Amino acid sequence: MLTLIYVTVVLFFRRGWLRILHFKNGDSKPVTKVSILIAARNEESKIAHTIQDILEQTYPSELWELIVVDDHSTDKTPDIVQSFADRGVKLLKLNEKEKLNSYKKKAISEAIQMAEGELIVTTDADCRMNKDWLTTIVSYYNENNLKLVSSPVIYNEEKSFFERLQTLEFLYLIGLGASSIGNRIPSTCNGANLAYRKDVFNELGGFRGIDDLASGDDELFLHKVASRYPDGIGFCKSAEAVVYTDAKANLKEFIRQRKRWASKSTRYKNKNIVLLGISIWAFNLIILVNLLLGIYNSLYLLSALLSLLLKLIAEWMFLSPVTAFAKRRELLWYLPLLTVIHIVYIIYIGIAGNSGKYVWKGRLVR
């Protein structure tokens, strides 16, 4: 039963991905004022490249501003940002004395208060984008009259087999987020490439109600918007709208990141999404249990192998168009291995991400 539920759900998400049309920029004259926000902490090795990419955008320079919030960096991050001041880049430094659990939400909230744009666009300090990135997102926002726009984030320039596995797994997550929007049940997005109206942020009280959790400035806010404007959310399915970032270099950093992402699930208001997550976790647990019991009884082993096969087929059907969009279809060769690894990974992260604390940006948070 759990296998059939999983296969049905994955094929349903495939339908959601295919329902989203590829977006191409129109010829309308840009008029929307945009504020691009970056919350940065100890990013001296990468932030200059991100800022340079943003400064080279084709969107009219008089219609956008870039605000970088320094979150108590102990390296040269603020100095690097300040070096771009003569090109209009604004630096805001957090200086609160009370200890917080969510410095990133605080940083974004502070930046929004000083932002002049109608549309807020957030990205991260270690991201890269092409010159039509902003034009594409704003055009999509205007043409569809949206309140919030989620856009693709893709890993690139992998340096190892482990990083290539992450890229495929991350495409799965990005595809799920997009397809949930395509199916009109928004569940997840990524703050490295997110846009929303400033007035909607203020109307919904910003991050109030979710500000005690370190993570969740993206998908928990998405849920707030979806509850008020269920038809006001879109996914910009365009190669020009992609933001590129790096996979984690080692298993320790990868686990920390995934624990942080999983921790947000404890605050989901939509019980259907919670129930679905529990079902998927239970499905993977049952496969592992059957594999272990297969040592003593071949029927359990046969059951586990059948579930694995159906899981693999469903995931290949889903990931085939997603990897095609990302121009990374060669990664599908890793899918059989990832399908097996994913079982242990889902079981562990499902427990670890919903209990205890984790380290993020050198801080112990929850």
Angstrom distance (rounded) from CA 322 to CA 324: 5
User: If we measure between CA atoms, which residue out of 9, 13, 63 comes closest to residue 36?
Assistant: 63
Tokens 């038809």 found at: 231
Q: List pLDDT tens digits, range 310-348.
A: 999 999 999 999 999 999 999 999 999 999 999 999 998
Phi then psi for 34, rounded to 5 degrees?
-125, 140
What's the confidence (pLDDT) of residue 258? 86
What DSSP string describes 256-269? HHHHHHHHGGGG--
What's the confidence (pLDDT) of residue 43? 95
- Is 196:148 a contact under the CB 8 Å cutoff? yes
Domain ranges of the chain: 22-160+184-253
Residues of the chain below pLDDT 50: none
What's the confidence (pLDDT) of residue 263? 75
Alpha carbon separation from 260 to 145, 201, 243, 357 (Å, rounded): 32, 23, 21, 9
Alpha carbon separation from 221 to 83, 112, 183, 229, 310 (Å, rounded): 32, 14, 19, 12, 34
Q: List pLDDT tens digits, range 24-81.
A: 987 778 999 999 999 999 999 999 999 999 999 999 999 999 999 999 899 999 999 9
Fold of 22-160+184-253: Spore Coat Polysaccharide Biosynthesis Protein SpsA; Chain A (3.90.550)
CA 148 to chain centre: 14
User: If we measure between CA atoms, which residue out of 46, 72, 70, 93 comes closest to residue 363?
Assistant: 72
What's the confidence (pLDDT) of residue 362? 67
- Is 331:167 a contact under the CB 8 Å cutoff? yes
What's the confidence (pLDDT) of residue 358? 62
- Is 171:152 a contact under the CB 8 Å cutoff? no
Query: What one-letter code names the amino acid at 313?
Result: I
What's the confidence (pLDDT) of residue 261? 79
